[in-house]
Amino acid sequence: MDLDELRKVRDRFDAEMRRDAPPDVAEADVERVGAVVRQTAPGHGWNGVLWSDLDEETANEEIAAQVAFFSGRGAPDFEWKQYDYDRPADLGERLRAAGFVPGPAERLMVGRVAELAKLPVHPPEGITLRVVTDEAGVDLMMAVHTRAFGTERPRIRHLMLTLLMDEPETIAAVVAMAGDTPVSAARMEMRPGTSFAGLWGGGTVPEWRGRGIYRLLVAHRARIAAELGIPYLQVDASDDSRPILERLGFSALGVTTPYVYSPPGA
């Protein structure tokens, strides 16, 4: 994509997926309060700030207001999803000063579905794909995530089970199997009325990396998006996946950093 197209796509992403974002599950609420768009969710759901329009005069007061709001709800933590082009330019520093802890920065990347859907989808030898439709499939995905990323992810498990039960049309998940062993997994989330399908959770266990499985799962999901008429795929890419995505045709729109606030005693 050239710079003009990238700028237009980023504006579209900000409008649809941040400023006017739909909730990620039916039980969550997204609201705009002044210069902030935030999501609140019960239980294991995701709580956080999706978008803000701040400046040097208003930023600290708004950050304090959101800390008070989410702490008052009793949320164990909440995330401020900051992008490197957000205002003010020192928003990240202000969040850290207010007690937020930054997670690893990721590259916001977007690819055209029409092109990505043409990628080959032939599995490497010994690999078959299992579409996830139930709790057993979700548990296979969680087993992959534990080995690939080294962490348990109860929130992701809750999210997937909720979507599969309540809104199955908004999620497409798949596990790559080597015989009876899950070795890679990924999901795609699709929100009605938006132009972007999000690719999430792509991970492969160490001994199966470098064999084209990650690319296979991108191509598999791109074909689903193409059938649904979704024009773009979006990824928050780690340093490991970014080079692969670039080779597949994805372009970078910016850098996003999750700033997490945990109330004292939570």
pLDDT at residue 265 is higher than 70: no
Query: pTM, whole model, 2 decimals?
Result: 0.92
Query: Model confidence over 23-73: pLDDT tens digits?
Result: 999 999 999 999 999 999 988 889 999 999 999 999 999 999 999 999 999
CATH number at residue 208: 3.40.630.30
* CB 110 within 8 Å of CB 14: no
CATH number at residue 39: 3.40.630
pLDDT at residue 266 is higher than 60: no
Query: Model confidence over 66-125: pLDDT tens digits?
Result: 999 999 998 889 999 999 999 999 999 999 999 999 999 999 999 999 999 999 888 999
Tell me: do 86 and 132 sit in the same domain.
no
Tell me: do 103 and 79 sit in the same domain.
yes
Using alpha carbons, select from 142, 154, 127, 153 the residue that is nearest to residue 214. 127
Q: Structural domain tally of the chain? A: 2
pLDDT of residue 190: 96
Query: For residue 159, is it within any domain?
Result: yes
Tell me: do 100 and 155 sit in the same domain.
no
Tell me: do 161 and 233 sit in the same domain.
yes
Tell me: do 52 and 151 sit in the same domain.
no
pLDDT confidence band for 183 (50 / 70 / 90)? very high
Query: Model confidence over 184-216: pLDDT tens digits?
Result: 999 999 998 999 999 998 999 999 999 999 999
Tell me: do 115 and 102 sit in the same domain.
no
- d(Cα 192, Cα 130) in Å, to the nearest integer? 25
Tell me: do 123 and 222 sit in the same domain.
yes
* CB 160 within 8 Å of CB 171: yes
Query: For residue 189, is it within any domain?
Result: yes
pLDDT of residue 20: 96
Range of the domain at 132: 111-254
Tell me: do 12 and 49 sit in the same domain.
yes
Query: For residue 266, is it within any domain?
Result: no
* CB 20 within 8 Å of CB 10: no
